[in-house]
């Protein structure tokens, strides 16, 4: 029994020694690894550091490539912007030069026109004052009596006429007096319509000095009806017919008003801020229009330039440029209309 006990104790002690030895070996190994890690010579540490270094190199390479690519893109964009700016500058420069040349050409034409008109009318410009001789007044000459001015009577038409028109009207009235008197003698004496011949001249029908005339004539026709007519000045400066019908007078007055409005509309043609006002419509550069004139056939064009005294249009058919002066537009010699694209 004692031998078995001793064998068991020996086996246990041997086992403990083995465990102690294994523990010491593992501890020594761990201490060695710790020392290698501290000295940065551990294989696993070296392997991981090498892998991290490779990743760092790859990322640095990618960053460098990205940086170079972005720099090249920025340089290319800068070159394109510079070229576009230079091209736009050249276009604006050429356009400005063309507009200035057209403007100066227009001014040159106007100055030449003014110079030619000054040469034609040079004698009328240098007007010498006329020498007047003062005559002595006669001793027995009566003093001039101041003319009494009377107010024009109501119910009469007062027209502002020239002296020539007044003389023409008086001649027509004097020519019609024998006919009117003959008709008045042939008419019955007791007619209810009455034969009246009234001629209002002088102070009774004239409200102005020598430039206003209002004449009313009443006479009987063959049927015994009274007919009245008035003389006035037409738009062309000539006297109207004494036997003109009131409807014709109203139609002629409407036509005169329309012509006057049209003349005012054409006279309002002007250029402001690089735009053209014609017939109460604004036209700008590049707008499609129709051009028509008294001596021109109608054609389509686009406004290429607007100067101070003229505009330039470019024909759509052959691309030929055509200049239109403001004076032609104001006189109605040339007209332009808007055109759809």
DSSP3 helix / strand / coil % (the chain, rounded to 5): 50, 15, 35
pLDDT of residue 191 exceeding 70, the answer is no
CA separation for the pair 214, 40 (Å, rounded)? 130
Q: Annotate 32-94 with DSSP letters as a single string.
A: HHHHHHHTT--HHHHHHHHHHHHHHHHHHHHHHHHHHHHHHHHHHHHHHHHHHHHHHHHHHHH
CA separation for the pair 184, 176 (Å, rounded)? 12
Q: Residue 242: what pLDDT?
A: 41
Q: Annotate 186-239 with DSSP letters as a single string.
A: HS-TT-SS--------TTTT--SSSSEE--EEEEE-TTS-EEEEE--B-TTSPB
**Local confidence band at 35 (pLDDT 50, 70, 90 cut-offs):** very high
Region 256-260: mean pLDDT is 59
CA separation for the pair 208, 166 (Å, rounded)? 12
Sign of CA dihedral 132, 136, 138, 142: positive
Q: Residue 116: what pLDDT?
A: 82
**Local confidence band at 140 (pLDDT 50, 70, 90 cut-offs):** low
Residues paired with residue 337 on neighbouring β-strands, in sequence order:
290
Q: Residue 241: what pLDDT?
A: 46
Q: Enter the CATH code of domain 268-338.
A: 2.30.30
Residues 119-128 pLDDT 10s: 554 444 444 5
pLDDT of residue 114 exceeding 70, the answer is yes
Residues 59-68 pLDDT 10s: 999 999 999 9
pLDDT of residue 51 exceeding 80, the answer is yes
Rg (CA), the chain: 56
Higher-scoring residue by pLDDT: 201, 36: 36
CA neighbor of 287 nearest in space, from 316, 325, 330: 316
Q: Residue 122: what pLDDT?
A: 47
Q: Residue 128: what pLDDT?
A: 52
Q: Residue 9: what pLDDT?
A: 77
Q: Residue 220: what pLDDT?
A: 35
H or E element in which residue 310 lies: strand 310-315
Cβ neighbours for 268, distance < 8 A, ≥ 6 positions apart? 277, 280
Q: Do 253 and 271 touch, CB atoms closer than 8 A? A: no
Residues 144-184 pLDDT 10s: 566 666 665 555 555 566 777 888 888 888 887 665 555 55
**Local confidence band at 252 (pLDDT 50, 70, 90 cut-offs):** low
Q: Give CA 72 to chain center in angstroms.
A: 47
Tokens (6 digits) for 217: 């004539």
pLDDT of residue 107 exceeding 60, the answer is yes
pLDDT of residue 13 exceeding 60, the answer is yes
Highest-confidence range of 147-151, 237-241, 318-322, by mean pLDDT?
318-322
Task: Give the mean pLDDT of the chain.
Answer: 73
Higher-scoring residue by pLDDT: 95, 183: 95
Tokens (6 digits) for 78: 């800068």
Q: Residue 76: what pLDDT?
A: 96
Tokens (6 digits) for 151: 């107010």
CA separation for the pair 205, 200 (Å, rounded)? 6
Higher-scoring residue by pLDDT: 295, 232: 295
Q: Do 329 and 323 touch, CB atoms closer than 8 A? A: no
159, 163, 169, 170: CA torsion to nearest 10: 120
Q: Do 336 and 328 touch, CB atoms closer than 8 A? A: no
**Local confidence band at 193 (pLDDT 50, 70, 90 cut-offs):** very low
Higher-scoring residue by pLDDT: 104, 237: 104
Highest-confidence range of 16-25, 78-87, 177-186, 319-328, by mean pLDDT?
78-87
- Residue 103: how many other CB atoms lie within 10 Å: 16
């Amino acid at each position: 029994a004692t031998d078995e006990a001793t064998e068991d104790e020996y086996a246990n002690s041997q086992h403990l020694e083995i465990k102690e030895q294994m523990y010491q070996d593992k501890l020594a190994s761990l201490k060695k690894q710790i020392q290698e890690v501290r000295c940065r010579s551990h294989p696993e540490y070296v392997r991981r550091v090498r892998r991290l270094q490779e990743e760092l190199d790859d990322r640095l390479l990618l960053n460098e490539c990205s940086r170079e690519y972005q720099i090249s893109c920025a340089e290319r964009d800068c070159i394109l912007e510079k070229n576009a700016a230079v091209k736009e500058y050249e276009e604006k420069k050429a356009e400005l030069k063309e507009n200035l040349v057209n403007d100066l050409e227009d001014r040159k034409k106007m100055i030449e026109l003014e110079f030619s008109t000054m040469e034609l009318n040079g004698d009328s410009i240098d007007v010498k004052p006329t020498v007047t001789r003062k005559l002595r007044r006669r001793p027995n000459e009566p003093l001039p009596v101041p003319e009494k001015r009377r107010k024009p009577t109501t119910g009469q038409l007062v027209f502002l006429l020239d002296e020539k028109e007044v003389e023409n009207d008086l001649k027509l009235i004097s020519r019609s007096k024998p006919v009117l008197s003959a008709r008045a003698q042939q008419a019955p004496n007791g007619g209810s319509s009455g034969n009246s011949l009234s001629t209002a001249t002088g102070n009774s029908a004239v409200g102005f000095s020598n430039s206003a005339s209002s004449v009313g004539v009443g006479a009987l026709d063959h049927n015994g009806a009274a007919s009245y007519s008035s003389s006035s000045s037409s738009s062309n400066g000539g006297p109207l017919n004494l036997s003109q019908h009131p409807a014709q007078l109203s139609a002629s007055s409407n036509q005169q008003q329309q012509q006057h409005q049209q003349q005012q509309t054409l006279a309002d043609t002007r250029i402001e801020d690089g735009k053209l006002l014609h017939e109460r419509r604004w036209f700008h550069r590049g707008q499609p229009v129709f051009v028509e004139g008294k001596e021109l056939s109608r054609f389509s064009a686009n406004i290429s330039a607007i100067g101070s005294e003229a505009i330039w249009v470019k024909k759509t058919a052959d691309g030929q440029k055509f200049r239109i002066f403001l004076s032609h537009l104001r006189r109605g010699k040339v007209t332009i209309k808007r055109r759809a694209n």
